[in-house]
Structure 1
Amino acid sequence: SLRLLQGLALGGEYGGAATYVAEHVPDAKRGYYTSFIQTTATLGFFLSMGVIGFTRLSLGEADFKAYGWRIPFLLSFILLGVSLYIRLKMKESPLFAKLKSTGQRSTNPLKESFANPVNRRYVILALFGATAGQGVVWYTGQFYALTFLQSMLKINWKEAYVLVSIALLITTPLFIFFGRLSDRIGRKPIIITGCALGALTYVPIYMAMKAFSNPRGLAVADPSEINYPVMVGLLVIQMVYVCMVYGPIAAFLVELFPTRVRYTSMSVPYHLGNGWFGGFLPLIATAVTASAWAKNTFGDGSIYTGLIYPIAVCLLTIIVSTLYIRETKDHKIDTAI
């Protein structure tokens, strides 16, 4: 129940945070300023790994599995208090205040988002042409990579956490770099390139991860056989892709919809793309890898078959975005209140 509540809270807050920041900053720097929001997801993931790791080490595996796994969730209430305090001190954005003062505020934004054919089309295009690919690239680079290290390569969880943490520390500033770059060259080229690089290189990257960590396929990876610098490098490459697709996404979504339904309209594709397409990635990838079809068809190579899913979604996003979505960089978000 607690996990469900946290998910619902995040679902509501991302669209609000992106809209709030975007409506306060200059048009020419929207990608730069909104990219700071994206760093919070990675920093939160990094913090969660630290808290979980500390709890596991402090309690031991038996106690952690019995009850200790609940402790990190309970500690999140501290952050809830901080965020609630900040929220209560914030004022409405100038664009929303103008909308409210003129009586143009939507009374049913969800209905209006889907009742209007043009807006409904953009919601669907944003899902399949941006956030679906962004979601699977994000989950592949951060979450599935960690799962693969532990479940497939049999690397000790402590070492896996350290490898991923180092890669996160190295790449987190790149969210801001790509957000700022999108203000110059556009949101679409960067997002599409990130998806394309993922689709083209995931299989060789994961094959290299095996070759440089557990080449003999031992039941438990031998630490002496793990090439730690190379492993960090392979994780960094994946996380660069994450920064490419995630850094400009908030600005892109904000610019796609008018103010009166912006919050709702951008939240729907964002959370379907990340919650469904991305969120189910570890489960789908693991199920494909463990299937009889994968083992019978690919043998030892079956451990890479889970990558079929993110590659397919990336290709779908590239096609839809290229054919049907316009560049949004130069859009003035106050022109379609």
Structure 2
Amino acid sequence: MTHVETMTQAQGISRRDRKVILAASLGTVFEFYDFFLIGLVATEIAKAFFSGVNPTAGFIFTLLGFAAGFMLRPFGAIVFGRLGDLVGRKYTFLVTIVLMGGSTFLIGLLPAYATIGVAAPIAFVAMRMLQGLALGGEFGGAMVYVAEHAPSDRRATYTAWIIMTAAIGFLLAVAVIIPLRLALGADAFALWGWRVPFIISIVLLGVSLWIRLRLDESPEFKRMKAEGKASKSPLAETFGTWRYVKVIIVAALCILPAQAVIWYTGQFYTLFFLTKVLKVENLSANMMLIIATVLTAPLYVVFGKLSDRIGRKPVYIAGYLLAALVTIPTFHGLTHFANPALERAQANTPITIVADPNDCSFQFNPLGTSKFTTSCDVGINAVANLGLNYQSQDAAAGTVASVKVGDRVIASYAADAADAASQKTRLEAELKQALAEAGYPVGSADPESVNSPAIIALLCVLLALGAMVFAPTTTSLLEMFPSRIRYTAMSFPYHLSAAWFGGFLPATAFAIVAATGNVYSGLYYPVSIAAACMVLSLLFARETRGTDISKG
């Protein structure tokens, strides 16, 4: 390293490095923007592509299409990781951005179910799978590309800018959709307006391509190729060498699962909790999450820089510990500041389902095909659909279930009874009246009682935990492997954990809530994984700060 280069690094990021970081970051922002659009317009997509089935099943199938993108990410990591290790980082960048941008643009143009029938949902899921493949090759490649330009003592600081793009991409998608909804109105947005964010992504694709075509190949990859040290078979070397397989197992099962669930809890589960459980108006909840995201985005760089100074493990293990300790209390705090009337009612007048336990079914139905017809199932559904806590009390065999709100008892009914329609009307009316008398808020949370600054502060706590663990873990991951297989070896465990632990967090949490009747019990999933990964990382993860990534 020359004296000039040393002086430049001491003064800050060089002009060349700023260009590298900016180019890689902007491209990745656009890819995450494309990827997150599906979840934000799931209701409209369900109506467009799954109108041949009932609305509930259509919405669920849309979410499964969203999940398909997550499931394909590990395979994209293998496909494009191999390409990146064989041909180069820059070339793979170009392929992934075209694949992502092209499939996103085509989703905006796909004919609806009413026009082409069953071909519509098939085409939609196919495009979603292409998006998952592309993102599986994109994020790891961007991390590797920037890391191979970075000085060893500031590697996490540099790569943190790439990591920040996940939050910024989500933010960009929300920032496009919310004004569009307000400008067009609900009917026009549902009919055609939801397609606009997908169609305009072609502009983002053009910008990304222009930026990436101006990049050079990473210096580490060029050095490796010049010295003849490139791997001829990255997949065979990665998965056929025990010492690398062992590192992948440690990364995928001991380190990264907690990072995935902590980040997705803050970025996605909070929005569900605010809108569906606490009944905060949708636009208000989105705006609070946007503000919190903006406020916490710089923390990715802050914690990346901290891990460059004291090590990767101390930072992310501290993040896992904090997440295990504060996540559930923070969600209780959200309830207190978003819907205090609900909090008081749940404490003063708990709801109880009194039923024969053999009459009660597991209340999780991801495919929308099961029928819950017993009096216990009907009673649970009536309460759960309102997003309310309930507890269970056993009754004698054959007893018709009832819903107790404090001292008031409301009889349930069997959904297959002859008079089920009138019984449904009666149950809903009596339950609504009992809840109102007990002080439960009916409908949306009272806007006057929503403490927005306090909610934003609590959201910042959860998002800060995601920032705290993201940069140190992913930078440590890429430092675990040599240059010749780095793209393949680091991308696969990252996307495997992101897909199977983070991507399925909502479905897993919802299942736990449905089974227990406790709206906070779904949080045991991310909390238990954070606690487990803290212990496993202490036992099996190694410190990687200062690793010479050109060796091996």
Confirm or deny that 1:152 pairs with 2:277: yes
Match of 1:79 in 2: 204
Match of 2:486 in 1: 262
Mean alpha-carbon deviation: is it higher for 209-218 or for 173-182?
Answer: 209-218
Task: Give me the whole-angstrom Cα distance separating, in 2, the residues matched to 1:12 and 1:77.
Answer: 20
Confirm or deny that 1:19 pairs with 2:144: yes
Task: Give me the whole-angstrom Cα distance separating, in 2, the residues matched to 1:204 and 1:324.
Answer: 29
Confirm or deny that 1:174 pairs with 2:396: no
Match of 1:247 in 2: 471
Match of 1:320 in 2: 536
Match of 1:305 in 2: 521
Match of 1:48 in 2: 173
Amino acid at match of 1:228: S
Contact 1:42 1:172 in 2 (8 A): yes
Match of 1:332 in 2: 548
Task: Give me the whole-angstrom Cα distance separating, in 2, the residues matched to 1:19 and 1:269.
Answer: 14
Amino acid at match of 1:294: T
Contact 1:28 1:183 in 2 (8 A): yes
Match of 1:105 in 2: 230
3-state SS of 1:241 partner: helix
Confirm or deny that 1:294 pairs with 2:516: yes
Give the TM-score taking structure 2 as reference length.
0.58
Q: Of the candidates 94, 102, 106, which is equivalent to residue 219 of structure 2? A: 94
Change (3 A) 1:6 1:78: farther
Task: Give me the whole-angstrom Cα distance separating, in 1, the residues matched to 2:224 and 2:340.
Answer: 61
Q: 1:121 deviation in Å?
A: 0.7
1:207-257: CA deviation from partner (whole Å, max 9, x where unpaired): 110111112233311111111111011001001101101122332111111
1:66-92: CA deviation from partner (whole Å, max 9, x where unpaired): 443332223222222222222222222
Task: Give me the whole-angstrom Cα distance separating, in 1, the residues matched to 2:203 and 2:528.
Answer: 39
Amino acid at match of 1:4: M
Contact 2:483 2:551 in 1 (8 A): no
Change (3 A) 1:64 1:4: farther
Amino acid at match of 1:335: K
Amino acid at match of 2:527: I
Match of 2:154 in 1: 29
Q: 1:163 deviation in Å?
A: 0.6
Task: Give me the whole-angstrom Cα distance separating, in 2, the residues matched to 1:119 and 1:172.
Answer: 33
Task: Give me the whole-angstrom Cα distance separating, in 2, the residues matched to 1:202 and 1:155.
Answer: 20
Q: 1:193 deviation in Å?
A: 1.2
Task: Give me the whole-angstrom Cα distance separating, in 1, the residues matched to 2:547 and 2:502.
Answer: 28
Amino acid at match of 2:234: P
3-state SS of 1:103 partner: coil
Q: 1:13 deviation in Å?
A: 1.0
Q: 1:38 deviation in Å?
A: 1.3
Structure 1 unaligned regions, length at least 5: 296-301
Task: Give me the whole-angstrom Cα distance separating, in 2, the residues matched to 1:317 and 1:120.
Answer: 19
Match of 1:117 in 2: 242
Change (3 A) 1:68 1:4: farther
Runs of 4+ in 1 over 4 A off after TM superposition: none
3-state SS of 2:520 partner: helix
Contact 1:3 1:73 in 2 (8 A): no
1:110-146: CA deviation from partner (whole Å, max 9, x where unpaired): 2221110000011111112222111111000111111
Task: Give me the whole-angstrom Cα distance separating, in 1, the residues matched to 2:192 and 2:477.
Answer: 40
Q: 1:65 deviation in Å?
A: 3.2
- Which has the larger helix fraction? 1
Match of 1:271 in 2: 495
Larger radius of gyration: 2
Task: Give me the whole-angstrom Cα distance separating, in 2, the residues matched to 1:53 and 1:110.
Answer: 43
RMSD: 1.5
How many residues align? The count is: 328
Q: 1:41 deviation in Å?
A: 1.2
Amino acid at match of 1:327: E
Match of 2:252 in 1: 127
